[in-house]
Structure 1
Amino acid sequence: MATKRRPLRPNLSGAQSGSNMNFRPGGPDITRSEARGTRPTAAPTSIREILVMGVIHLCKKTIFFNTDLKVALYLGSLFLISLIGDFLPFPKTYFARSDNLFNMYFVKVGWGWTLLFTVPFLVLTALTLSCGDMKNMLRHHFPRIFIATFFWFFWTKIFNIIETSYGRCTVRGFQTKSGCLKAGHLWHGFDISGHAFILIHSSLVLIEEARPIIKWETIKEHIRNELHNRSVKENTGTNPLRALNDEQMRTLKFLYTRLTPIIRTLFIGMAALQLLWDIMLVGTMLYYHRMIEKVISGIIAILTWYFTYRFWYPTPGLLPDAAGNGFFHYQRDSFAFKRPTHLPGCSAAPSSSGSGVRANPNGTSGTRIPGKGGLAGSPGGAGINTQQIPTFMGMPLFTNAKAASAAANLLQTQQQQPQHQETGVDS
């Protein structure tokens, strides 16, 4: 015969006992400020937001393809495809024409298109990560654009000087390239491919400067949790924003809310432009320049990228900083999940050095569970067996010491009641 369901907290009085709330967070007599495990929930996500995040995810998969592997593909393709093209000319297509639309309006002004998307993206992301500090943004981030532009200008000029100095006209009597071309003749020289260089250089700069978008959405969660922590006077945890002052928090929240839609739009444009540069690079491999000229330009572009973005910028103490750095570090793993040293039902004895600490996914640390076997004790919780603490999938249901102690005592009392009833029947 079915019996009436008993509440988990029969000792509560007044309105609480009448409501039979078996799911009240934090346990009996626990105020919201003491319920360390609770956090404010996120706002509902709209259909538009879901669609935007789907596009952003697709763009991330496209632009953040393994960079080291992409560099290897660049070099291998420049060598293999260009070598085949030197001996076995490929069938002519629209991309073989030097006056094709993409070559005239994109590749020839390729660095301008790269700056059109990269500069505002860098400024907006760096300003947000600097919590509105314009001087920090200009000093630690903006110089990367000048450095990339300098190398683009420097190498293209070097390529032109080499071609002019070590070439000759098809008709004798013309000693300069400009005079030969003005007369309608051809100039033969060692023409290191400026197209291959600018396409690879632009692609790698776009990839590196777009990296702040990685885990950008987690900043919203960090802001929400940090504001909650400060409202309940909770100073513990591993939230990356905990070191910011109140003014920086207000500025960060304002800039993140206002600038995120623009940053996402710019990132989509950067991903599309980077894909276009890869397509145009294939056309350059197939129809323009000799293999050695393209391979040398590709090597120079890759070495320039490696020197700046892999050696110079990540080096501590040198300016400018790497993309994504700021007053806080949101791209690091901010929590570590530790399993308890003893789970209910295990035959192994509990370790004397177990921590019993569980870190929450939002970066805040939980509270030690009172008990024996190395778990930190607390007033009212000493002597509680770990097997009596309510658990789910091996982890304690409560992250507050007071709540865990009260729940364990209540569970122990309920387990003893049937024993007393059976004793009375037998007697």
Structure 2
Amino acid sequence: MATKRRPLRPNLGQSGPSSGTNMNFRPGGPDITRAEARGTRPTAAPTSIREILVMGVIHLCKKTIFFNTDLKVALYLGSLFIISLIGDFLPFPKTYFARSDNLFNLYFVKVGWGWTLMFAVPFLVLSAYTITCGDMKRMLRHHFPRIVIATFFWFFWTKLFNIVETSYGRCNIKGYQSKSSCLKAGHLWHGFDISGHAFILIHSSLVLIEEARPIIKWETIKEHLRNELHNRSVSEKTGSNPLRYLNDEQMRSLQFLYTRLTPIIRTLFIGMAALQLLWDIMLVGTMLYYHRMIEKVVSGIIAILTWYFTYRFWYPTNGLLPDAPGDGTFFYQRESFAFRRPTHLPTCTQSAGNQMPNPNGSSNKMSAQTSVQQQQIPTFMGMPLFTNVKAASAAASSLYSAELKRREQQQQQQAGIDS
């Protein structure tokens, strides 16, 4: 026989106009007191289907453009050597990409640096302006020079390649001392023609990859803003929020800029990812049909050394301008805590009597718990599942307890089998 449901708070309806009604819900909304609200965190706004689709596209673009850069550099060099060497002795079948007047070569590769700047410059300006909280001087001084430096190296190396070919070449017909006069007469100029196409394509790809890095964890800025505004509303000054050192004016600027510019930044990032993929495809065409192997390998080495000197050596060095991509008034890409999988848990084949204490006198359980607290934060589509240290620590402790219990059960079963 069904029984009447007991109210959650039976004393709530004893006074007032609704004294005869037992309300089966907890009071909240505007009547909640400040003391009851303290210690709670605001929840995220509902996510629309459009937002989910956009984040899916962004996640796919991240997987494409942020493919292991060191491995990609090795693939560039290896492919330039192997594919070009094969092409020098065994010409590949001619395709549309073998024609020098193909659409991609005329309208993309020959003006490749212009396409790169068309996406990289506005993305750099808008993202850097946001993470510097609207500080135009800081953006121009600490971030914009990266594009100027990359453009300088593009101009310097391409001009040097032309000088080398012109100065150390000869016409196939005697009597012509310059490349221009030889070509105008309809003859061929033989020189060491370092591949400008290979250099531009690799240099542009690496610049796009590095300049796109501010998009990594970009969505977490929204979480940090919501949590920090809540902390300030309840006068809570402790915590690990990277925005806690910003003043009120910087917080307002960051909130406004992030809301207004994020859709544009995402669109530009999708364009950068698509352009970087196109450059890789066109690089394969260059490997197959243009220049000799040594000319392409030399240009590839120069492009990679230029990238390594600037983005891996120069910019990350503290105290030297400009800053690395993603560095701003706050650091939203740093891990506040990290977990690592337990490495000191006893194995299934070990019995309880065979567990040896470690040299420091602490048990294996303690060392395992320490390593669990260093496990990597679980993520979904690049977003962390936990937004604060307490939640992640609680999840890690729960995982550790479950894992330890499972191991103990296995040990007991193994001990029963052995006996």
Q: Scaled by the length of structure 1, what TM-score is found?
A: 0.76
Compute the displacement of 1:32 (Å).
Answer: 2.9
Q: Which residue, out of 214, 235, 238, partners 1:236?
A: 238
Task: Tell me the SS of whatever aligns to 1:316.
Answer: coil
Say whether residues 1:332 and 2:334 are aligned partners. Answer: yes
Say whether residues 1:73 and 2:85 are aligned partners. Answer: no
1:424 is aligned to: none
Inter-CA distance 32–98: structure 2 relative to 1 (3 Å threshold): same
Task: Tell me the SS of whatever aligns to 1:323.
Answer: coil
Inter-CA distance 152–201: structure 2 relative to 1 (3 Å threshold): same
Q: Percent identity?
A: 80
Partner Cα separation in structure 1 for residue 166 and residue 115 of structure 2: 27
1:403 is aligned to: none
1:201 is aligned to: 203
Please list every run of 5 or more consecutive structure 2 residues that lacks an aligned counterpart in the other structure. 342-362, 378-384, 401-419
Q: Which residue type is aligned with residue 122 of structure 1? A: L
Does the CA contact (< 8 Å) of 1:90 and 1:287 recur in 2? yes
Compute the displacement of 1:14 (Å).
Answer: 6.2
Task: Tell me the SS of whatever aligns to 1:39.
Answer: coil
Partner Cα separation in structure 2 for residue 394 and residue 172 of structure 1: 80
CA deviations on 1:364-403 (whole Å, 9 max, x unpaired) are 658x99xxxxxxxxxxxxxxxxxxxxxx9589xxxxxxxx
Q: Which residue, out of 257, 260, 278, partners 2:259?
A: 257
Q: Which residue type is aligned with residue 226 of structure 2? A: R
Compute the displacement of 1:218 (Å).
Answer: 0.8
Partner Cα separation in structure 1 for residue 328 and residue 135 of structure 2: 10
Compute the displacement of 1:262 (Å).
Answer: 0.5
2:388 is aligned to: 363
Partner Cα separation in structure 1 for residue 216 and residue 164 of structure 2: 41
1:136 is aligned to: 138
1:32 is aligned to: 36
Compute the displacement of 1:31 (Å).
Answer: 2.4
Compute the displacement of 1:22 (Å).
Answer: 8.0
Partner Cα separation in structure 2 for residue 236 and residue 320 of structure 1: 32
Q: Which residue type is aligned with residue 252 of structure 1? A: L
Which structure: larger Rg? 1
Does the CA contact (< 8 Å) of 1:238 and 1:334 recur in 2? yes
1:152 is aligned to: 154
Partner Cα separation in structure 1 for residue 389 and residue 296 of structure 2: 52
1:302 is aligned to: 304
Please list every run of 5 or more consecutive structure 1 residues that lacks an aligned counterpart in the other structure. 340-347, 370-391, 396-427
1:82 is aligned to: 84
Q: Scaled by the length of structure 2, what TM-score is found?
A: 0.77
Partner Cα separation in structure 1 for residue 222 and residue 325 of structure 2: 19
Partner Cα separation in structure 2 for residue 114 and residue 393 of structure 1: 48
Say whether residues 1:286 and 2:311 are aligned partners. Answer: no
Aligned residue pairs, count: 355
Partner Cα separation in structure 2 for residue 305 and residue 190 of structure 1: 23
CA deviations on 1:142-174 (whole Å, 9 max, x unpaired) are 000000000001111111111111100011001
Partner Cα separation in structure 2 for residue 338 and residue 214 of structure 1: 21
Inter-CA distance 119–172: structure 2 relative to 1 (3 Å threshold): same
Compute the displacement of 1:333 (Å).
Answer: 1.5
Inter-CA distance 147–14: structure 2 relative to 1 (3 Å threshold): farther
After superposition, residues 216-235 of structure 1 pair within 5 angstroms as 216-235=218-237
Partner Cα separation in structure 2 for residue 284 and residue 172 of structure 1: 30
CA deviations on 1:236-263 (whole Å, 9 max, x unpaired) are 1111111100100000000000000100
Inter-CA distance 363–168: structure 2 relative to 1 (3 Å threshold): same
Partner Cα separation in structure 2 for residue 124 and residue 254 of structure 1: 13
Partner Cα separation in structure 2 for residue 109 and residue 209 of structure 1: 19
Inter-CA distance 174–336: structure 2 relative to 1 (3 Å threshold): closer
Partner Cα separation in structure 2 for residue 275 and residue 394 of structure 1: 40
Query: Greater helix share, 1 or 2?
Result: 2
Segment of structure 1 superposing worse, 120-129 or 328-337 = 328-337
Compute the displacement of 1:6 (Å).
Answer: 7.5
Partner Cα separation in structure 2 for residue 2 and residue 333 of structure 1: 53
Say whether residues 1:97 and 2:99 are aligned partners. Answer: yes
Does the CA contact (< 8 Å) of 1:201 and 1:302 recur in 2? yes
2:194 is aligned to: 192
CA deviations on 1:335-386 (whole Å, 9 max, x unpaired) are 45799xxxxxxxx9x99xx99x9x99323658x99xxxxxxxxxxxxxxxxx
CA deviations on 1:79-114 (whole Å, 9 max, x unpaired) are 000000000000000000000000001000000000
Q: Which residue type is aligned with residue 268 of structure 2? A: L
Task: Tell me the SS of whatever aligns to 2:35.
Answer: coil
Partner Cα separation in structure 2 for residue 158 and residue 301 of structure 1: 13
Does the CA contact (< 8 Å) of 2:202 and 2:300 recur in 1? yes
Compute the displacement of 1:9 (Å).
Answer: 7.9
2:414 is aligned to: none
Task: Tell me the SS of whatever aligns to 1:31.
Answer: helix
Partner Cα separation in structure 2 for residue 394 and residue 181 of structure 1: 72
Task: Tell me the SS of whatever aligns to 2:41.
Answer: coil
Task: Tell me the SS of whatever aligns to 1:333.
Answer: coil
2:406 is aligned to: none
Compute the displacement of 1:19 (Å).
Answer: 4.7
